[in-house]
Amino acid sequence: MAKLDVNRLSLRRSEGFSLVELAMALLIIGLLVAAVLQGQELVKNAKVSRTISQANEYFRAVNSFENLYGGLPGDLANARSEIPGCMDNPTCQGGDGNGVINEDGGDGTDWLGWSTSAVASLSSESVQFWKHLALAELIDGVDVDFTGTDFAWGRSHPRSAFGGGIEFFYDNATLLGTAFHTFRFSRGAIRSGTPVRDQYIVSPLVAYMIDRKADDGLAWQGKIIVDYGARNTICHNYDVYKIQETQEEACILFFMLYN
């Protein structure tokens, strides 16, 4: 009678179980990777929706403020006597009442941190804009007691869902051909000048997702545009988003209030 090779049989069984275990391990890893990727996609989609929601909230807040007080927040000349709490807040100031948000009275381009000479100041209408809305209890996410020395996202200006935050300003839009007020979503510093490349907040694909969902999907038309001031950037070429670009932060978002 042939002698049973127990050791060889045991080895074969061991090898068989190892292959099964390896297959199961690979399956589990694949499922985990898929779950992580799906989770990241869900988070990204949630941020896209939140960004659109934020812009719409601020559009409504501005409209409500104008209906209540007869002027733009930040620009309202009699803000201290009209807005509840403004008289008792030493950092709340009125604007010049000319119907546009501007810092220097020139009604030209005015957004903070865009050029190396731009420095935020407490008296800027684009800064008081947020204080007026917060004191009127039309928005959250801004501390009504912020001063001229503590500008920060989530304090003097709202935070963005993608990081960074949101500014509001007026521009005579020499490139686009029409003047407009706009909310700018960017990552740049608001206290001092920051290079444009350091202000990018979303990828071209995400910018396109936001534009397509809330507007027309065109980078330089409609109420949502990107990288105003440059016709061809890492984010877009005129109206076309460069969705194949892999850089995660390549676009600055502008939501136009008047178009």
Query: What is the per-residue DSSP string for 202-226?
Result: B-HHHHHHHHHHHS-S-TTSSSEEE
Beta bridge mates, 184 = 167, 254
Please answer whether residues 128 and 110 qualify as being in contact, where contact means their C-beta atoms are separated by less than 8 angstroms. no
Looking at residue 2, what is its pLDDT?
54
pLDDT tens per residue across all 259 residues of the chain: 555 555 555 555 555 567 777 788 888 887 788 777 777 777 788 999 999 999 999 999 999 999 999 999 999 999 999 999 999 999 999 999 988 887 544 444 444 444 434 456 788 888 899 999 999 999 999 999 988 777 889 999 999 999 999 988 887 665 566 778 889 898 876 654 555 556 889 999 999 999 999 999 999 899 999 976 667 788 999 899 999 988 888 998 999 886 4
What's the pTM value of the predicted model, to 2 decimals? 0.79
Domain ranges of the chain: 48-256
Q: Which residues contact 96 (CB under 8 A, 6 or more apart)?
A: 75, 77, 105, 125
Q: Under DSSP, is residue 185 helix (H, G, I), strand (E, B) or coil?
A: strand
Find the Cα–Cα–Cα–Cα dihedral 78, 79, 82, 84, rounded to 10°: -160
| Residues ≥6 apart with Cβ < 8 Å to 121 | 103, 127, 148
SS3 category, 240: strand
CA 218 to chain centre: 18
Which residues, in sequence order, are bridge partners of residue 181? 170
What angle, 0 to 180 degrees and rounded to 10, lies between the N-to-C axes of helices 6-69 and 125-135?
90
What's the confidence (pLDDT) of residue 159? 94
Measured distance CA(259)–CA(256) in Å, rounded: 6
